[in-house]
Structure 1
Amino acid sequence: MKLSVSSAFVLLMTTAHAFQAISPCRANGSTALQMSSAAINSNSGDDAPALKSAPPRRVCLMVEPTPFTHVSGYANRFKEMLKFMQKAGDNVEIMTVDSKTPKEKLPDEAFGYKITHTKGFTFPLYNHISLTFDFEMKGARVLEKFKPDLIHVTSPGFILFAAIFYARVNKIPLVMSYHTHLPSYAVNYLGFIPGIEKFAWDLLRWAHSRADLTLVTSPQMQEQLTTEGIPRVDVWRKGIDTERFDPKFKSAEMREIMTEGNPDDFLMVYVGRLGAEKRLKDIKAMLAKMPNARLALVGKGPQMKELQEYFKDTKTKFMGQLNGDELSQAFASADAFVMPSDSETLGFVVLESMASGVPVVGANAGGIPSLIKDGEDGFLVDPDDLDGYVDRLKQLQNAKFREQMGIRARAEAERWGWEAATSVLRNVQYEKALANFKSRAFGGLGRPKTKGVWRLFRMRIQKILRRLGFAKKQTPALES
């Protein structure tokens, strides 16, 4: 099968997302900026500066899919980030897309910050989320009025290209946060296209080389992106809401539902998207070797119907999408959490299970090893080692052993609060991005001798904005 480069690009970027955000910069050489990368990226939860170490700044957050109606660990990260940025006194304006929610029900603010919605589209194979190129150029209007100190945009996706465009034209520092591992999704979903994995890495290098800082969610992702030639990569620290996910939510009633009336059986749980990249079919063979075990799958996704047929006649309960206390109860009421996915950039559900006091048996791949100390607060198993998974799960059938490991898992999760993660983000990593911006040629706008090209490009954009009514004859934000 032959596809054009543009067709492959659209397929690749859309698939990855379907299974998932004008003023001079102010780098001020703060003490926080001088913290070493080793300290920032370490597994110590005690090295964050005070939340308000750096002065308040103006941040434009461009995020897709929307974290306000989209349920995921990714969405939780942005909500927690905004909560503590508000506490720090930062001024944030958000641009996102949500074409699935009726216009009158779209939120216009979150945590006191204004939300601007731009038009987008949905992907037929996974139409729960919306994506956008911002062809309306609402981002231009936001930037002209708001004049942010920096732009923070999510990756991979389509809004990313709008952010690159706006950052270059307006000379604004650009931070990209990487949430979905594009090459893994390329192999899993578009492996029939020759060279698709290399193409994915080429796209990532092109886009992220234009960032003043790329944030990833685990040291493993940092190492992989750096090895593949992507510069300026830091780890956006993990965080967990230890009040929402807590052993206190253990519920006999929820366990009765999850085990279909057999609460004394050994209960394994998986929470998250039901997609091929999660390797959930691997669990069926585990069930076959553990006759007294049951499985509860919490979530929804493109593979749900296929999995329901695949697990037919096994002791498997499909719980659907859960939220709030029901989700907390589903975590805390299980005996073990199974995570066979080898494509996680972090795996928030792993941390949420640990906070719930439920040990995790997870793949020794992606970002999961950054969360689990093997044999101490959970288990790591090579992704293809079925017998290894079964052996570790059988160990957890010992109630006393399971309880002690769950206590250690909870203790580890308690060390990771969202305030500390946001403190490092705003006091250290945003400062680093601002400093990187200043140190790059023409504020990161390109190689030397391109100034005339950018001046012509800027003039054309001014003309377009005036025709669309987004700018007056003179557009100060675009004339620097």
Structure 2
Amino acid sequence: MVGFVLSSTPVVRRSRAGRFCKQSRVRVGTSASAGQAKIAMDSVEDDEQIVVAQGARKRIAIVVEPTPFTHVSGYSNRFKTHIEHLTKAGDDVLIICPDNSENAPSEYMGAKVQNVPGFKFPLYDKIQVSLGLWGVYSPLRDFKPDIIHLSTPGLMTFAILVYARLLRKPLIFSYHTHLPHYAMTYGMWYSVGLAWWLIKVCHNRADATLATSPQLCNELRQHGVQRVGLWPKGVNTNVFNPKFKSEAMRSRLSGGNPQDNLLIYVGRLGAEKNLQALKAVMAKLPSNTRLAFVGDGPYRTTLEELFAGTKTYFAGLLQGEELSKAFASADVFVMPSESETLGFVVMESMASGVPVVGARAGGIPDLIQHERTGYLFEPGSTDQVVDYVRKILYDAKLRETMSKKARSESEKWSWKASTSVTRNFHYGRAISSFKFRALWGLGLPRSLSWFRWIRRRMVMLFVLLTQRVKKAAMQY
């Protein structure tokens, strides 16, 4: 069977070498005006058939803020898995991130990690950020990357924009934290316009932008961001698996009452996650329903005070097999957040065979098929949340069917396929965009505008003629 593979150039061509994946389809839609592309992978049934490294070996510099190695979050899992597949494919990878901690790694899965000086972020002191003024430019220059991949938003954005231009290297952004929504959540409505302006200005200086959901891609385009593409989702279905279901973990999360109904939320405990809304939900559910929060964040103390006296358990940060057990041991995962650019924890819950009730907002609708793999409620509708949770809790057949469908859907989201698309299509598209923009002189330093191109050619012609005249005069 002949399938599709993604080449290192921004085209999709047939390959005689083998299948891209069994019964999979890659759809590419392009816009001639913006060179945009949208990729959707419908199923990945044979992950071994996917080839990550199409074309020449690449040197890839990845700048991530905050660090994905000592900071736990959904996006950190994405970057670590992406790096792992790139190095396994034979690419040379340099990771630059701000990290002053003692356990900061100097190497990860064969990739060099350059830890640069940073400082604690004032609004959340558990993450480190950096202005990128020290320890960044020299490693980038010495590494001589084929492309620079920067996570945004972050304080290093401005420095990396300058460094990429000085080094004349292609630059691709990936957008992970939705600043305008955060500004509204934290009462800074007056800065929403400024946030969108900064996003547009910075991202349009890059050669391409990746967003983590189709909804976010569209929103960025609507606000004037150019060259936007979709970074395909992925989840580790071995780490997150129904087999990790544990009565001991269930007993722990339910405060020693494993026979009770158990709702769970996993993720950062921040004000933007709308977690306080779950108190009203709990008040309308039967008394034998319990809620467990797994994770940490700046809003934890407030939540603990708010939920005091309710059947709510705060487990704190869990990792490794403990986290896998926590996911698999619950009855329903509740996701009230309306600010998710994607929602990794939703995918991880589905992979664990636990149905999700999530907000019809952000990137969540891209993950949940309403009434098939979970439920989507309208933002702000407590009654809908209660109704959907009740359906799952009190209909064993529905819960079992939905659990199997959620697990089956998650098995289509391969990290290897995601890395293949990102490396071979999106990186190739950014490199081509860089070369095109350099050719036409649209803003790159030392690039050639038509006037400068003509002027330079006239100078070269004058020098050549002068040399020939001088040579002819010497012969006589």
- In structure 2, what is the equivalent of residue 317 of structure 1? 313
**In structure 2, do the counterparts of structure 1 residues 164 and 422 end up closer, same or farther at CA, with 3 Å as the change threshold?**
same
Q: Which amino acid aligns with 1:376?
A: R
What is the match of residue 465 of structure 2?
Answer: none
Distance apart, 1:450 and its partner CA: 8.1
Q: Does 1:135 align with 2:138?
A: no
Q: Which runs of 4+ in 1 moved over 6 A?
A: 447-452
Out of 343, 348, 370, which is 1:347 matched to? Answer: 343
The 1:43–1:451 alpha-carbon spacing in structure 2 relative to 1, beyond 3 Å, is: closer
Change in Cα spacing, 1:110 to 1:55, as seen in structure 2 (3 Å) is same
Instruction: Find the counterpart in structure 2 of residue 305 from structure 1.
Output: 301
Identify if the C-alpha distance between structure 1 residues 114 and 402 changes in structure 2 by more than 3 Å, giving closer, same or farther.
same
**Secondary structure of the corresponding residue to residue 36 of structure 1:** strand
Q: Aligned in 2, Cα 1:250/1:121: closer, same or farther, shift over 3 Å?
A: same
Alignment-derived partner of residue 159 in structure 2: 162
Q: Would the aligned equivalents of 1:373 and 1:379 in 2 still touch at CA under 8 Å?
A: yes
The one-letter amino acid paired with 2:110 is: G
| Cα offsets for 1:243-273 (capped at 9, x unmatched) | 0000000000000111112112111000000
Secondary structure in 1 matching 2:314:
strand
Tell me how large the CA RMSD over aligned residues is: 2.3
- Of the two structures, which has the highest relative contact order with CA contacts closer than 8 Å and spacing of 6 or more? 1
Which residue in the other structure is 1:87 paired with?
88
Whole-Å separation in 2 of the counterparts to 1:30 and 1:375: 36
> CA 1:29 to 1:79, structure 2 compared with 1: closer, same or farther past 3 Å?
closer
Which residue is equivalent to 1:367? Answer: 363
**Corresponding residue number in structure 2 for 1:197:** 192
Q: CA-to-partner distance for each residue in 1:281-325, whole Å, 9 max, x for gaps?
A: 111111111122110000000010000000011110000000011
1:333-374 residue CA offsets vs partner (Å, 9 max, x unmatched): 000000000000000000000000000000000000000100
CA distance in structure 2 between the aligned counterparts of 1:448 and 1:323, rounded to whole angstroms: 45
1:53 CA drift (Å): 2.0
Question: Where in structure 2 are there 5+ consecutive unaligned residues?
Answer: 1-6, 15-25, 31-36, 453-476
User: Which AA in structure 1 matches 2:62?
Assistant: L
Q: In structure 2, what is the Cα distance between the partners aligned to 1:37 and 1:247?
A: 36
Give the structure with the larger strand fraction.
2
Identical counterparts, % of pairs: 48
Three-state SS of the structure 1 residue aligned to 2:69 is coil
Change (3 A) 1:409 1:323: same
Matching residue's letter, 1:286: V
Q: Could you report, residue by residue, the CA deviation over 1:383-405 in whole angstroms, capped at 9, with x for unpaired residues?
A: 11110100000000122211110
Equivalent residue runs for 1:55-204 within 5 Å: 55-99=56-100, 101-102=101-102, 105-136=103-134, 138-191=135-188, 194=190, 196-204=191-199
For 1:219, which of 211, 214, 217 is the aligned residue? 214
Whole-angstrom distance in 2 between the partners of 1:268 and 1:82? 33
- Counterpart position of 2:401: 404
- 1: CA distance, partners of 2:167 / 2:442: 10
- Counterpart among 329, 333, 336 of residue 337 in structure 1: 333
SS at match of 2:305: helix
TM-score normalized with structure 1 length: 0.84
Q: What letter corresponds to residue 419 of structure 2 in structure 1?
A: T
Among 21, 28, 36, which residue is 2:28 paired with? 36
Match of 1:429 among 415, 426, 436: 426
Write the distance in 2 (CA, Å) between the matches of 1:89 and 1:224.
Answer: 35
Cα pair distance change 1:449/1:130, threshold 3 Å: closer
State the TM-score, normalizing by the size of structure 2: 0.85
**Cα distance in structure 1, aligned partners of 2:132 and 2:285:** 51
User: Could you list the per-position Cα deviations for residues 137-171 of structure 1 after superposition, in whole angstroms to 9, with x for gaps in the alignment?
Assistant: x2221122111111000000011112101111111
| Other structure's SS at 2:402 match | helix
Quote the Cα distance in structure 2 between the aligned partners of 1:176 and 1:153: 5
Q: Distance in 1 between matches of 2:181 and 2:199?
A: 12
**SS of the residue aligned with 1:243?**
coil
CA distance in 1, matches of 2:150, 2:66: 11
Contact 2:265 2:294 survives alignment (8 Å):
yes
Deviation of 1:67 after TM superposition, in Å, equals 0.4
Return closer, same or farther for 1:28/1:275 CA change in 2, 3 Å cut-off.
Answer: closer
Q: Which amino acid aligns with 1:36?
A: V
